[in-house]
């Protein structure tokens, strides 16, 4: 009996009056946490049947609220729905007309912006002829900035001149770092044109110079002329005499030669069973 009394208390009031909509939704929402608290438990095998019953209660309560809302919208607010649809149709008609005017305004603005850009381009093409680098007009002309009406042709040209002076000055500074090779020079130019960043261009020049230096060093090592070998000291021999063929001699000599020479000498030493004593050896 007490539970039924509590259920009656949690009842949505929603109706129209002379003063407007009467609704206790906020009061019910404030009550809801305490009302839902008894249902906040873990379902187990022991309370399974209770959980099913509680679930049905909660679903039913939600259905009651939804039905009350739907009924109010379909009765008391039915006229409003009709008015709302009519108002939205008017908004759409007005918006369409405004869009048509907006398209016309944008066409005129775009034409003026293009004419302004072309006028600036004509002046830029004259100045560009004396620049050390051929910087594309589009690289310097920012439509996002210059399309604004506050940017007149005179003001844009003044701003571009500042940027051009900066480019000329930076490229002069780059002169000390530019590579001699024409192909490398073109690469550095293109990097600067693409980025307009002197630091990035200098880094590119340094990288290309390092590569060229490495290649040159490798080529120098590969094509280095062999040093003239010193004359091989001759071992003194006696006059050719068949009587001296088996006579042994002791010779002290110094050789400076490449490895193949010693390999051949080792073959001779082994062949003739020569006694050899290495006194000193030095790698040159």
Q: What DSSP element (H or E) covers 16?
A: strand 14-17
- pTM of the model as a whole: 0.49
Q: Which of 67-76, 105-114, 246-255 has the highest mean pLDDT?
A: 105-114
Tens of pLDDT, residue by residue over 254-279, are 777 777 777 777 777 777 777 777 77
CB 212 within 8 A of CB 187: no
Q: d(Cα 58, Cα 48) in Å, to the nearest integer?
A: 15
Which residues are CB-neighbours of 229 under 8 A, at least 6 positions away? 256, 257, 258
Tens of pLDDT, residue by residue over 112-151, are 999 999 999 999 999 888 888 889 999 999 999 999 999 9
When comparing pLDDT for 218 and 112, which is higher? 112
- Nearest 10 degrees: Cα torsion 189, 195, 197, 198: -10
- Which neighbouring-strand residues pair with 23? 14
Is residue 14 classed as helix, strand or coil in its secondary structure? Answer: strand
CA distances from 109 to 88, 102, 120, 150 (A): 30, 10, 17, 13
Residue positions counted in the chain: 284
Is residue 23 classed as helix, strand or coil in its secondary structure? Answer: strand
Six-digit token pair at 145?
């900035």
Largest Cα span, the chain: 152
Would you give the end-to-end CA distance of the chain in angstroms? 115
The confidence score (pLDDT) of residue 151 equals 95
Q: d(Cα 78, Cα 64) in Å, to the nearest integer?
A: 20
Tens of pLDDT, residue by residue over 40-66, are 999 999 999 999 999 999 999 999 999
Q: Where are the alpha helices (DSSP H) in the chain?
A: 2-9, 25-36, 48-74, 78-128, 137-140, 143-146, 153-174, 182-195, 198-222, 259-272
Residue with tokens 């307009």: 196
| Chain-centre distance for alpha carbon 215 | 32
- Strands 14-17 and 20-23, bridge-based pairing: antiparallel
Query: What ranges do the domains of the chain cover?
Result: 2-76, 97-177, 179-219
Q: d(Cα 165, Cα 173) in Å, to the nearest integer?
A: 13
Tens of pLDDT, residue by residue over 179-208, are 888 888 889 889 998 998 889 988 998 898
């Amino acid at each position: 009996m007490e539970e039924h009394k509590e259920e009656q208390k949690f009842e949505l009031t929603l109706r129209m009056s002379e003063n407007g909509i009467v609704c206790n939704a906020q009061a019910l929402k404030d009550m809801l946490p305490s009302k839902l608290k008894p249902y906040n438990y873990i379902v187990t095998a022991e309370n399974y049947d209770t959980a099913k019953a509680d679930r049905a209660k909660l679903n039913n309560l939600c259905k009651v609220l939804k039905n009350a809302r739907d009924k109010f919208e379909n009765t008391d607010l039915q006229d409003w729905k009709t008015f709302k649809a009519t108002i939205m149709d008017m908004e759409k008609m007005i918006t369409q007309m405004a869009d048509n005017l907006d398209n016309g305004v944008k066409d005129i603005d775009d034409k003026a912006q293009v004419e302004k850009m072309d006028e600036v381009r004509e002046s830029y093409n004259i100045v560009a002829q004396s620049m050390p680098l051929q910087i594309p007009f589009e690289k310097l002309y920012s439509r996002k900035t210059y399309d604004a009406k506050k940017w007149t042709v005179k003001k844009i040209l003044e701003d571009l001149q500042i940027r051009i002076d900066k480019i000329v000055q930076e490229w002069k500074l780059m002169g000390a770092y530019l590579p001699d090779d024409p192909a490398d020079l073109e690469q550095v130019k293109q990097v600067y044109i693409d980025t307009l960043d002197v630091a990035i261009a200098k880094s590119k020049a340094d990288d290309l110079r390092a590569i060229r230096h490495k290649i040159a060093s490798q080529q120098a090592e590969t094509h280095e002329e062999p040093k003239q070998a010193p004359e091989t000291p001759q071992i003194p021999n006696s006059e050719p005499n068949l009587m001296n063929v088996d006579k042994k001699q002791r010779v002290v000599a110094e050789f400076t030669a490449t490895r193949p020479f010693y390999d051949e000498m080792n073959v001779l030493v082994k062949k003739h069973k020569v006694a050899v004593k290495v006194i000193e050896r030095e790698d040159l």
